[in-house]
Copies of this chain bind each other. A is one copy, B any other.
Amino acid sequence: MSTNELTYGMVGGDVKAFIGDVHRKAIGFDPRCHLVAGAFSIDPVLHVLTADTYHIAKDRRYNDYKEMAEAESKRKDKIDFVVIVTPNASHYQISKEFLLHDINVICEKPLCFTLEEANELSKIAKDRNLLFAVNYGYTGYTMVKIAKEMIAKKELGKLLSVQIQYAQDWLIDTTDSTKSAEMGKKIWRLDPKASGISCSLGDIGTHAENLFRYLTGDEIKRLVVSTDKYGQALDLNSNVIIQCQDGLHVGIWVSQVAIGCENGLKFQIYGTKGSLNWNQQDPDTLYYGLLHEPQMKLVRGSNYLKKYEASSNSRLPSGHPEGLYEAFANNYRHIISYLIKKKGKEEPTLEDCDFPTIADGLDGVKFVHKAIQSATEEKWLEY
């Protein structure tokens, strides 16, 4: 293995699991990084099947994450990072274990359930100078990154208003009185023990919050929130008004019961000079309004976007669609570059650092807590 290459391990993500495979494929876009170890499943058959599929050496197939952290940490050729794609309730324990064994962590979202846990993990990572990335995959899209750059370059002028929607309908049957009780039990997302204090705000609200912060670089000053549970234990639909440090208001609506919405994450950003509109389900397109001019349609890969540094994230020519795998792959490309440079004692560039970290995860946990508190207390809440 050359010094310009990395190896990684995975906890969770057997061949039948969904999100682990997305991570593997996204990392697979980059020839600099290879899967060499794993504790893929508590089901031994699935574990072995997965290890076989990916040609994992016998001595790096681990029965559980503790054994893996322990064993890998002692190897001279230990993995450069671990990808954690287990059920949410285990993220905290597993992340902590690997950090304490000095292994960099990339953890699926959400990071954990309490602010205390989040802060603890953050501190450990910082103290040990470890990378701790959290997977907010949607900020990996090229057009989101170009939007961020346009805003940073003041091409929209001073921001005046932001609207974000994240609407899905996969939990709609919870509102059907004949199915709601059964679904409340069946779907872990609706179970406070597995999901923490929130469903919609935790699952997708954090993506909306992360997206607006990624784009604007602004911080929340206070917020007011309404939630709807429709008879379940946790929120399935929420309206949020955020006021930022510099006065900007951000309206957010998230829902998991919005019939006809597959994965409708959209932003609208308005400034004194221009505006941007984007829809995750049409990720290669960014609509750009310019003061007193016709609205323009910016298409990823076009020559007129080459002036933006973020256009380097584009892989295919304009009109040849990229999707979610490629967004994930963009984040991983930066993570891999960052870790290779760190290993080689080289200074990472700003672009290398363009991936979501535990700081984002921590903000997400805080957002969920504050939002649920505002909804419960029915008032504006300082952040």
A298 touches B294 (CB 8 A): yes
Q: Which of B28, B296, B316, B323 has a CB less than 8 Å from the CB of A320?
A: B323
Is A182 among interface residues, defined by CB-CB distance under 8 A? no
A259 touches B251 (CB 8 A): no
A228 touches B249 (CB 8 A): yes
Q: Which of B260, B316, B380 has a CB less than 8 Å from the CB of A22?
A: B316
Could you tell me the distance between the alpha carbons of A138 and B296 in the complex, rounded to whole angstroms? 26
Could you tell me the distance between the alpha carbons of A275 and B261 in the complex, rounded to whole angstroms? 9
A161 touches B237 (CB 8 A): yes
Nearest CB in chain B: distance from A211 CB, A: 15
Residues of the B chain whose Cβ atoms lie less than 8 Å from the Cβ of A289? 169, 259-261
Is A185 among interface residues, defined by CB-CB distance under 8 A? no
A319 touches B263 (CB 8 A): yes
Which A residues between 235 and 257 are near B, CB-CB below 8 angstroms?
A: 237, 239, 241, 243, 247, 249, 251, 253, 255, 257
Task: Tally chain A residues at the interface, Cβ within 8 Å.
Answer: 85
Is A282 among interface residues, defined by CB-CB distance under 8 A? yes
A226, A243, A283, A294 — most chain B CB neighbours (10 Å) = A294
B319 touches A264 (CB 8 A): yes
Mark A220-239 against chain B: 1 for CB-CB distance below 8 A, else 0: 00001010101000000101
Is A25 among interface residues, defined by CB-CB distance under 8 A? yes
Is A140 among interface residues, defined by CB-CB distance under 8 A? no
Is A318 among interface residues, defined by CB-CB distance under 8 A? yes
A275 touches B260 (CB 8 A): yes
A317 and B260 contact, Cβ closer than 8 Å, known pairs A31-B54, A294-B304, A296-B294: no
Q: Residues of A at under 8 Å CB distance from B?
A: 2, 18, 22, 25, 28-29, 31, 52-54, 158, 160-161, 163, 165, 168-169, 172, 175-176, 224, 226, 228, 230, 237, 239, 241, 243, 247, 249, 251, 253, 255, 257-264, 268, 270-275, 277, 280-284, 287-299, 301-304, 316-326, 378-380
* 29 CB < 8 A contacts A-B: A2-B52, A22-B316, A25-B28, A25-B29, A161-B257, A161-B258, A172-B291, A176-B272, A224-B241, A226-B243, A228-B247, A239-B249, A241-B241, A251-B253, A257-B272, A258-B268, A259-B273, A259-B289, A259-B291, A261-B275, A261-B289, A262-B320, A263-B318, A263-B320, A282-B321, A322-B323, A322-B324, A323-B323, A379-B380
